[in-house]
Amino acid sequence: MTNTDWHAPPDLLARFAHNPAALDDMTAASVEAHLVVCADCRGQMTAAASPALVTASWDAIADRIDQPRPALLERVLHRIGVGRGLGRLLAATPALQGAGLLAICVLAAGAVVLSLTADAEGPFLVLAPLVPLAAVAASFAPAADPAGEAGVATPMHGAGLVIRRAIAVVGINFGVLGAAALALPDLGPAAAAWVLPALALALGTLALGAWMRVEVAVAVLSSAWLLGVSSVWWLAGRDIPLADSATFSVTGQVTALAAAVAAATIAAARRDHFATLEAFR
Amino acid sequence: MTSSISTVTVTGLRKRFGATVALDGIDAAFTPGVNGLLGPNGAGKTTMLRILATVLPADDGRLEVLGDDPSTGGGRLTVRRRLGYLPQEPGFHRHFSGFEFVDYVAILKEWADRKPRHDEVRRVLTLVGLEAVMHKRIGQLSGGMRRRVGIAQALLGRPDLLVLDEPTAGLDPEQRLRFRELLGTEASGATVLLSTHQTDDVAALCQHVVVLLAGQIRFTGTPTELAALASGRVWLAGERDPGADLAWITGEGRVRHIGEPPTGAQLVEPTVEDGYLILAGRDAHANSEALAS
């Protein structure tokens, strides 16, 4: 930078230092432009400013620099009204980060491809409920929280956070699976028959996770689901399409809803379990 | 024990992991100031600190932490609002920077407003000497720096209770000295519970020390009282006595014996380590030598 022959009057510099907004726009812009090229005036202005003002200015600059860049999901959550803090906590859930979201999309696409290959909704209806099951499990698995054990000892940790994360995970999973279902051969009401079983299995993970390792809970529930669907279809004579079996009928949907309510009730009753490290076994 | 009112008391505390008894009916009381937990690996120190830090439930026994019972939902929440906790293995998210990690913990500690939260995050990171590297990813930091990130998050909000599991592990001598100074200023008035394998940390830092062995308390008192357990039983000799149970070569090339006096040995003043070794015996000595190497 170079110095100039003209210098701003000291009282003008002092007024600019203490409150630039008190000057008219033209004068403030002129002083600012001059300060860029005049080291003497910058020095005078610094001397005129109170140390508290200089410290506050540096603090404000440091705060702006230090502000972590929000992740894409965090920005989306903020757009839809989720607070910045909660958005950060939700966006840090492994099942909602890049690799987790990619896994959900790949699994959903795989289920659609199987259905298109078979020219029937059956494979999608059977596999789709397993996707949120795995994602919910991953949201409170041992490595789920970026703060690890230190995070467990904080007031925000506990059932409230687990449930919020589960809602976010289920919501995004349902969005992806719903979009994937649009590619199914028949877009009738039966194409949505995966929703309630998926909800029941996701809530079942939370409920069973209060008694056993989350990986075991996933294995138990996914095995039970696959065994149950196969058995119902087998007992019906195997000559009907899978999508027409009782599992995806009104009776099956009511059963899934009842299971979801029961699982939610159990998870709520055992909510204290999620407050400690025991839930992270 | 000082005459101050206890801020943390445990009565009949028990915890099992399968067939292993980690804590076997612990009774203890801790007052404001620095309280040290000494013991070999597997003695139950980490389990006890986890229970006091509300991250692990006890199987049996009564706890009172800062006037609340952490086994109830409301009591646990109240304690957590006044607690800073450094786990033995914090489990850092390696893609976070030090700033992002501490900021994340601050959100979990209910610091909702961004500006004061960031000011506090910068303050604690500066306290532990990480201001120049706070925006580096944790995965790129050295083990000692990561430990300091862990200490920084525990200091958020000047907690009334600081539970620190081996805070000086991985710190170099200068950092350990800085940590001691830090506790002196930052934790003034707070109750600090820390576990360590470093008996010199206990001597330098703690007003009260508890020795845990196999899930039971074997000593409680001041570091001076712990050292006094070895009074009249610590000797320096030119050579190792073949019959000695506990003997090792010092930095000066002489052999320090604990127990019966070897022939021609010189009686010396005991240290906290000598007192601890009298209690813990050969296992603790082997353990401390393994850690030192």
List the CATH number of the domain containing B118.
3.40.50.300
Burial of B71 (0-12, 13-18, 19+ CB in 10 A): middle
Report if residue B56 sits inside a domain.
yes
pLDDT (mean) for A96-121: 84
Most B CBs within 10 Å, among A152, A213, A272, A278, to test the B interface = A152
d(CA A111, CA A128): 7
How far apart, in Å, do the first and last CA atoms of chain A sit?
61
d(CA A47, CA A27): 20
Q: How many domains does chain A have?
A: 2
Do residue A117 and residue A49 come from a single domain? Answer: no
Would you state the pLDDT for residue B284? 55
Taking an 8 Å cut-off on Cβ atoms, the answer to whether A152 and B99 are in contact is no
Do residue A111 and residue A232 come from a single domain? Answer: yes
The closest alpha carbon to B106, from A151, A277, A163, belongs to A151
Do residue A95 and residue A224 come from a single domain? Answer: yes
Most B CBs within 10 Å, among A55, A66, A96, to test the B interface = A66
Bigger pLDDT: B22 or A115? B22
Do residue A57 and residue A99 come from a single domain? Answer: no
Do residue A98 and residue A226 come from a single domain? Answer: yes
pLDDT at A201 over 80: yes
H or E stretch at B28: strand B20-30
pLDDT tens over chain B, length 293 residues: 445 688 999 999 999 998 999 999 999 999 999 999 999 988 999 999 999 999 999 999 999 999 999 999 899 999 999 999 999 988 777 778 899 999 999 999 999 888 899 999 999 999 999 989 998 999 899 999 999 999 999 999 999 999 999 999 888 888 899 999 998 888 888 999 999 888 888 998 999 999 999 999 999 999 999 999 999 989 898 888 887 778 888 888 888 988 888 888 889 999 999 999 988 875 555 555 554 44
| Dihedral sign from CA coordinates of A171, A176, A179, A183 | negative
Locate B115 and state its tokens. 């500006």
Do residue B261 and residue B212 come from a single domain? Answer: no
Domain boundary among B185, B203, B221: B221
Report if residue B2 sits inside a domain.
no
Report if residue B26 sits inside a domain.
yes
Choose among A84, A88, A275: nearest Cβ to B76.
A275
Taking an 8 Å cut-off on Cβ atoms, the answer to whether B87 and A67 are in contact is no
Report if residue A3 sits inside a domain.
no
Report if residue B283 sits inside a domain.
yes
Do residue B122 and residue B264 come from a single domain? Answer: no
**Helix (H, G, I), strand (E, B), or coil: what is residue B101?**
helix
pLDDT digits (tens, 9 = 90+) for A238-255: 778 887 888 888 999 999
Contact A74, A87 (CB under 8 A): yes
Do residue B217 and residue B240 come from a single domain? Answer: no
Would you state the pLDDT for residue A246? 87
Do residue A131 and residue A34 come from a single domain? Answer: no
Do residue B208 and residue B241 come from a single domain? Answer: no
Contact B169, B53 (CB under 8 A): no
Do residue A58 and residue A78 come from a single domain? Answer: no
d(CA B288, CA B197): 7
Do residue B188 and residue B79 come from a single domain? Answer: yes
Interaxial angle between packed helices B114-127 and A51-66, expressed in degrees from 0 to 180 and rounded to the nearest 10? 100
Taking an 8 Å cut-off on Cβ atoms, the answer to whether B96 and A146 are in contact is yes
Do residue B28 and residue B78 come from a single domain? Answer: yes
Paired strand residues for B187: none
Q: How many domains does chain B have?
A: 2
Q: Which residue of A has its CA nearest to B112?
A: A85
pLDDT digits (tens, 9 = 90+) for A117-144: 887 888 889 999 998 888 887 776 656 6
Do residue A99 and residue A144 come from a single domain? Answer: yes
Domain boundary among B221, B246, B281: B221
Do residue B133 and residue B172 come from a single domain? Answer: yes
Report if residue A2 sits inside a domain.
no
pLDDT (mean) for A198-218: 88
Taking an 8 Å cut-off on Cβ atoms, the answer to whether B87 and A62 are in contact is no
pLDDT digits (tens, 9 = 90+) for A147-160: 888 988 999 988 88
Report if residue A23 sits inside a domain.
yes
d(CA B57, CA B12): 14
For a pLDDT cut of 70, what percent of chain A falls above it?
94
Q: CA B207 → CA B163, B181, B224, B270, B278, distances in Å?
A: 15, 15, 9, 18, 20
Would you state the pLDDT for residue A132? 87
Do residue B186 and residue B213 come from a single domain? Answer: yes
Would you state the pLDDT for residue B79? 97
Biggest CA–CA distance in chain A, Å, is: 99
For a pLDDT cut of 90, what percent of chain A falls above it?
16
Do residue B155 and residue B67 come from a single domain? Answer: yes
Q: Which residue of B has its CA nearest to A271?
A: B73
Do residue B246 and residue B215 come from a single domain? Answer: no
Taking an 8 Å cut-off on Cβ atoms, the answer to whether A84 and B115 are in contact is no
Residue B234 belongs to domain spanning: 227-292
- Tell me which chain B residues have a C-beta less than 8 angstroms from the C-beta of A157: 80, 108
Do residue B116 and residue B200 come from a single domain? Answer: yes
Choose among B77, B107, B122: nearest Cβ to A88.
B107
Choose among A143, A146, A150: nearest Cβ to B86.
A150
Taking an 8 Å cut-off on Cβ atoms, the answer to whether B118 and A146 are in contact is no
d(CA A50, CA A31): 19
Domain boundary among B198, B221, B244: B221
Choose among A67, A149, A153: nearest Cβ to B80.
A153
Do residue B189 and residue B108 come from a single domain? Answer: yes
Taking an 8 Å cut-off on Cβ atoms, the answer to whether B114 and A146 are in contact is no
Report if residue A4 sits inside a domain.
no
Would you state the pLDDT for residue B293? 45
Do residue A99 and residue A116 come from a single domain? Answer: yes
Report if residue A213 sits inside a domain.
yes
Would you state the pLDDT for residue B85? 97
pLDDT (mean) for A97-107: 83
Would you state the pLDDT for residue A158? 84
Bigger pLDDT: A225 or A89? A225
Choose among A66, A146, A154: nearest Cβ to B109.
A154
pLDDT digits (tens, 9 = 90+) for A34-83: 988 898 888 888 888 877 777 777 777 777 776 667 778 888 888 888 88
Report if residue B107 sits inside a domain.
yes
Report if residue A122 sits inside a domain.
yes
Report if residue A5 sits inside a domain.
no
Do residue A173 and residue A253 come from a single domain? Answer: yes
Do residue A23 and residue A113 come from a single domain? Answer: no
pLDDT at A4 over 80: no
Residue A244 belongs to domain spanning: 72-280
Report if residue B1 sits inside a domain.
no
How far apart, in Å, do the first and last CA atoms of chain B sit?
33
Do residue A152 and residue A257 come from a single domain? Answer: yes
